[in-house]
Amino acid sequence: MDFSKPWTEFDLIAFDTETSGAYPLGSEVVEFGAVKWRGGQVIDSYQTLLKPSEPMTPFIIGIHGITNEMVENAPKISEKIHEIREFIEGSILMAHHAPFDMGFMAVDFQKNKIPFPSEPVLCTSLLARQLIPESHNHKLQTLIQVLKLDQGAAHRV
């Protein structure tokens, strides 16, 4: 990636995962969603629900609002991992708490014998800690309020 170009020439992807648990080695991604920007304009998006190998617990369902019924007929990650790789290839990735999301993605790429993306990854949570130290916390919903952004739902619940 040629970082001498202006940032407006890069594709930036904000992405998020929802998972069946807290740890990548014992849980799975049940939703991957991403929006791609170039020059400040949305140019593409990608979203898919994914069927985990085990049913999700009521506790996990309560966090993100994705039910076992919603993913019952969804594809497995192995059926979508190539599409996800194609979508993110050549872009700068951004996620709030990126190490969490990337940890799950790394396991999925390894399980499916696909090279892990080498694209740069920005963690908006870590960036916010540096750029907005006065915020009482750096949760996404708090930052939306601090920055006076249009507020959308973080999860389905």
The pLDDT of residue 156 is above 90? no
Of 54, 49, 105, nearest in space to 75 by CA: 49
Under 8 Å between Cβ of 85 and 117:
yes
**Which CATH number covers residue 137?**
3.30.420.10
The pLDDT of residue 155 is above 70? no
Q: Within a domain: residue 103?
A: yes
The percent of residues above 90 in pLDDT, for the chain, comes to 85
Burial class (CB in 10 A: 0-12, 13-18, 19+), 108: buried
Q: Within a domain: residue 151?
A: no
How many Cα atoms within 13 Å fall on the side-chain side of residue 7?
6
Q: Within a domain: residue 155?
A: no
Find the domain containing 21 and state its range: 7-146
Under 8 Å between Cβ of 13 and 98:
no
How many domains does the chain fold into? 1
Question: pLDDT (tens digit, 9 = 90+) per residue, 63-82?
Answer: 999 999 999 999 999 999 99
Q: Within a domain: residue 156?
A: no
